[in-house]
């Protein structure tokens, strides 16, 4: 026996679930189309069901031509009056239709002779598109259209028309046809309900089949406002399931880690106590508390997986130094990884200064190292003579072989992500087990977001700044007041202070009206001839950049013009003034990070946000937040609300899972309920496997259930 899928394709009858079949089982899908659909992460029929429309179009009502409004996409029908090819600048086909109430011109720039032959005078056609005002009345450019035969209107629909995510070579009509085939199969073979009935009843959500049917084919009268906002119960039903799948995958990592072995490093050692006592400053109570939590973790025979959150300047690095020293005191290795060479170099300088009295010299490893120096570092790492290794992502490359890696410290964790952390952890695996992991971020993360993004980690928060730190005064000024700001910089430097002048780009750009760093450097050099002005950016050679940064730290440069490479890792106590160009184009968290480069000394510090007018509402809201608060957690919450988690956690890098239907900004309120539901799956972990397979095509990377 055989079974028919879609509209004619035959597959063996022993295929139990048609929804799990390859897309090539659908009518009209061959290898070439399947390859294009794979770009949308579509591999099987069920994947189509979970590719939700981006928006909907109302093609249930035919509008009279005389009622068309500019810019309002509409479905219309009319009789062809005239079809002609014209050459006005470029070749185009013009088709004029009328329905008694008015006329409309259809304009096609790409057409064939056969297509033109369809538009014979008197032919009835129905088309959908966006009308706009043309030279001879309303016109539509390349509308969707159908020839109306026997009074039948093939474009009119009984439900709203979905608009799906697009990929090159797959038009909307094809996507709708494939989705319709998938829905037809679903009606005969409903997808498994993976959420417990008690949870669905408590939240009053529809069945999975009903939710999917509704979202692909919303009926006339559907709440378009709720659908556009992503808050329709049918959407939230799917969002909850996806959030739960990601949460379970991360919790599974944690569960697996608790079963693995790691070196037990004991409690605080004599060398750690000596290190803390000889620091030129006293640890804050928050630093002491978090250090104690970490040392307690390191005393256990299972891998520590802990996240340290701390605002800029809160002193996370010295806490990491204490953790690393505990491993080194036991004769093992510690590694510190940062996302950029500038930040890694800053850590190298800090650890070198702190550890030198103890006779410990950090080892440096980065992608830009000369071959000879890299070979020397790799040899020292392999034979164990390098006790502390500091570097960039080069630390988890294949050529690196640790001897006894006991702890990994990863700064700005969200720029790496789960999988890169796992890669470094796997490199450190040895006979004694897995290395401990300590990850840090200076981007405070709202609680609901942390619940979703870092469910595999324990969390410690350094919520206290060192004594003597003063709040940074922040003002926002239009660029028309640049001369006033330059004068302010002059006076600050004459008092012996230093200043940052940050610009988004290195060179001038016609497309983006940013003040480029090189242009500002030249302008400030002319405006402030009595001051020493320096320039640093990411394109400088490492040695040249280091020379400029060192000169600034030593006070040999008064004003440092820079791109956002100074966002993290630069600590100059004498710098008390931060000027940020085009602040309206940056995210809140990045602005807060840049502001945190000042205020590290005893002098009252200030940040000036220069913006280009006119200022949009979103930009105005962002700048207002920075004027009102220095609290990084408040800034992070507002950034989440205004810009979303992609900016806050670096989705463009690798740190945040890529969701298919969920949006953490919108759906974070579901996380407490997700955590509660996860308890049910914790008691029966075998139930989580199909949920992870449904939502995480690469679930194995998160560990097997």
CATH code at 146?
Answer: 2.40.50.140
Give dist(CA 241, CA 245) in Å, integer: 6
Show which of 462, 485, 510 is a domain's final residue.
462
Q: Tell me, yes or no, whether 293 and 440 share the same domain.
A: yes
**pLDDT score, position 516:** 77
Report the number of secondary-structure helices (H) and strands (E) in the chain: 25, 24
Token representation of residue 277: 């006592």
**pLDDT score, position 173:** 86
3-state helix, strand, coil split of the chain in percent (to 5) is: 45, 20, 35
Query: Is 639 inside any structural domain?
Result: no
**pLDDT score, position 639:** 76
Work out how many domains the chain is built from and give that number. 4
CB 228 within 8 A of CB 218: no
Show which of 408, 429, 462 is a domain's final residue.
462
Q: Tell me, yes or no, whether 418 and 492 share the same domain.
A: no
Element (H, E) at 333: strand 333-337
**pLDDT score, position 464:** 83
Give dist(CA 340, CA 335) in Å, integer: 15
Query: Is 236 inside any structural domain?
Result: no
DSSP 100-113: SS-EEEEEESS--H
**pLDDT score, position 699:** 47
Q: Tell me, yes or no, whether 547 and 603 share the same domain.
A: yes
Low-confidence ranges of the chain (pLDDT < 50): 1-15, 647-648, 650-655, 699-705
DSSP 479-524: GGGHHHHHHHHHHHHHTT-EEEEE-SBSS--SSS-PPBHHHHHHHH
Element (H, E) at 625: helix 617-628
Q: Tell me, yes or no, whether 349 and 487 share the same domain.
A: no
Q: Tell me, yes or no, whether 451 and 542 share the same domain.
A: no
Q: Tell me, yes or no, whether 290 and 395 share the same domain.
A: yes
Query: Is 77 inside any structural domain?
Result: yes
Show which of 443, 462, 481 is a domain's final residue.
462
Query: Is 565 inside any structural domain?
Result: yes
**pLDDT score, position 3:** 43
Q: Tell me, yes or no, whether 617 and 487 share the same domain.
A: yes
Neighbours of 549 (CB within 10 A): 25
Give burial (CB, 10 Å; 0-12/13-18/19+) of 467. Answer: exposed
CB 263 within 8 A of CB 332: yes
DSSP code, position 220: T
Query: Is 251 inside any structural domain?
Result: no
**pLDDT score, position 4:** 42
Give dist(CA 179, CA 46) in Å, integer: 10
CB 600 within 8 A of CB 313: yes
Q: Tell me, yes or no, whether 486 and 439 share the same domain.
A: no
Phi, psi (5° rounding) for residue 561? -85, 130
| β-sheet with 74-88: strand ranges across | 132-134, 137-141, 103-108, 90-98, 74-88, 124-129, 144-147
CB 216 within 8 A of CB 663: no
Q: Tell me, yes or no, whether 386 and 420 share the same domain.
A: yes
* C-alpha 515: how far from chain center: 26
Give dist(CA 166, CA 152) in Å, integer: 29
**pLDDT score, position 444:** 67
Q: CATH number for the domain including 621?
A: 3.40.50.300
* C-alpha 162: how far from chain center: 26
**pLDDT score, position 105:** 95
Q: Tell me, yes or no, whether 65 and 32 share the same domain.
A: no
Q: Tell me, yes or no, whether 34 and 76 share the same domain.
A: no
Give dist(CA 104, CA 116) in Å, integer: 17
- How large is the C-alpha radius of gyration of the chain? 31
Report the candidate in 179, 207, 155, 167 with the shortest Cα–Cα distance to residue 36. Answer: 167
Give dist(CA 258, CA 528) in Å, integer: 59
Query: Is 346 inside any structural domain?
Result: yes
What pLDDT digit, counting tens, does each position of 205-255 carry? 999 999 999 999 999 888 888 998 899 999 999 999 999 998 998 888 788
Domain that holds residue 492: 473-629
CB 584 within 8 A of CB 577: no
Q: First-to-last CA distance in the chain? A: 36
**pLDDT score, position 705:** 34
Report the candidate in 643, 680, 498 with the shortest Cα–Cα distance to residue 576. Answer: 498
Give dist(CA 348, CA 462) in Å, integer: 22
Element (H, E) at 549: helix 542-553
DSSP SS3 for 194: coil
Cis, peptide link before residue 365, omega less than 30° from 0: no
Query: Is 232 inside any structural domain?
Result: no
Report the candidate in 397, 117, 171, 270 with the shortest Cα–Cα distance to residue 389. Answer: 397
Query: Is 468 inside any structural domain?
Result: no
Q: Tell me, yes or no, whether 447 and 301 share the same domain.
A: yes
Give burial (CB, 10 Å; 0-12/13-18/19+) of 142. Answer: middle
Give burial (CB, 10 Å; 0-12/13-18/19+) of 67. Answer: exposed
């Amino acid at each position: 026996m055989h079974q028919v899928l879609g509209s004619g394709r035959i597959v063996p009858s022993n295929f139990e679930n048609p929804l799990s079949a390859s897309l090539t089982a659908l009518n009209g899908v061959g290898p070439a189309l399947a390859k294009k659909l794979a770009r949308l992460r579509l591999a099987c029929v069920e994947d189509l069901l979970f590719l939700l429309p981006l928006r909907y179009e109302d093609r249930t009502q035919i509008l009279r031509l005389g009622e068309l409004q500019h810019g309002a996409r509409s479905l219309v029908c009319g009789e062809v009056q005239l079809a002609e090819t014209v050459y006005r600048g470029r070749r185009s086909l013009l088709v004029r239709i009328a329905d008694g109430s008015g006329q409309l011109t259809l304009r096609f720039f790409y057409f064939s002779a056969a297509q033109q032959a369809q538009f014979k005078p008197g032919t009835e056609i129905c088309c959908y598109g966006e009308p706009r005002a043309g030279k001879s009345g309303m016109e539509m450019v390349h509308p969707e259209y159908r020839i109306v035969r026997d009074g039948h209107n093939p474009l009119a629909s009984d439900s709203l028309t979905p608009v799906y995510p697009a990929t090159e070579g797959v038009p909307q009509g094809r996507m709708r046809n494939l989705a319709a085939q998938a829905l037809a199969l679903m009606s005969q073979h409903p997808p498994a309900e993976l959420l417990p009935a008690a949870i669905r009843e408590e939240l009053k959500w529809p069945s999975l089949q009903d939710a999917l049917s509704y979202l692909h084919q919303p009926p006339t009268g559907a709440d378009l406002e709720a659908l556009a906002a992503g808050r329709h119960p049918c959407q939230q039903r799917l969002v909850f399931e996806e959030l739960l799948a990601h949460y379970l995958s991360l919790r599974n990592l944690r569960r697996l880690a608790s079963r693995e072995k790691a070196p037990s490093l004991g409690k605080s050692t004599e060398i750690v106590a000596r290190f803390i006592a000889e620091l030129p400053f006293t640890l804050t109570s928050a630093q002491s508390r978090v250090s104690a939590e970490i040392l307690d973790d390191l005393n256990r025979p299972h891998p520590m997986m802990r996240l340290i959150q701390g605002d800029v300047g809160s002193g996370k690095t010295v806490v990491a130094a204490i953790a690393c020293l505990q491993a080194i005191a036991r004769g093992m290795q510690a590694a510190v990884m940062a996302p950029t060479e500038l930040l890694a170099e800053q850590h190298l300088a800090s650890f070198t200064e702190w550890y030198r009295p103890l006779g410990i010299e950090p080892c440096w490893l980065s992608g830009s190292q000369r071959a000879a120096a890299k070979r020397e570092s790799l040899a020292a790492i392999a034979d164990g003579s390098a006790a502390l290794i500091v570097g960039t992502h080069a630390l988890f490359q294949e050529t690196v072989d640790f001897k006894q890696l006991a702890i990994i410290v990863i700064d700005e964790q969200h720029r790496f992500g789960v999988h890169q952390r796992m890669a470094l952890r796997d490199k450190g695996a040895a006979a004694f087990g897995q290395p401990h992991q300590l990850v840090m971020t200076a981007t405070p993360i709202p609680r609901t977001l942390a619940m979703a993004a870092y469910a595999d980690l324990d969390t410690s928060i350094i919520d206290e700044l060192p004594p003597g730190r003063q709040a940074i005064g922040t003002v926002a000024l239009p660029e028309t007041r640049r001369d006033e700001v330059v004068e302010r910089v002059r006076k600050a430097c004459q008092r012996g202070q230093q200043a940052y002048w940050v610009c988004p780009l290195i060179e001038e750009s016609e497309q983006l009206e940013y003040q480029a760093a090189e242009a500002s450097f030249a302008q400030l050099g002319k405006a402030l001839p009595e001051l020493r002005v320096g320039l640093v950016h990411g394109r400088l050679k490492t040695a040249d950049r280091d020379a400029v940064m060192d000169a600034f730290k030593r006070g040999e440069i008064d004003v440092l013009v820079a791109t956002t490479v100074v966002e993290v890792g630069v600590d100059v106590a004498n710098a008390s003034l931060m000027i940020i160009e085009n602040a309206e184009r940056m995210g809140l968290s990045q602005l807060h990070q840049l502001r945190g480069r000042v205020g590290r000394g005893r002098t009252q510090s200030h940040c000036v946000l220069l913006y280009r007018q006119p200022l949009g509402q979103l930009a105005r809201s962002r700048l207002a937040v920075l004027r009102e608060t220095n609290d990084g957690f408040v800034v992070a919450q507002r950034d989440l609300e205004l810009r979303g988690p992609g900016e806050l956690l670096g989705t463009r890098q690798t740190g945040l899972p890529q969701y298919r239907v969920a949006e953490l900004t919108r759906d974070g309120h579901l996380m407490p309920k997700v955590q509660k539901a996860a308890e049910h799956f914790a008691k029966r972990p075998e139930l989580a496997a199909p949920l992870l397979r449904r939502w995480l095509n690469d679930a194995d990377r998160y560990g097997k259930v």
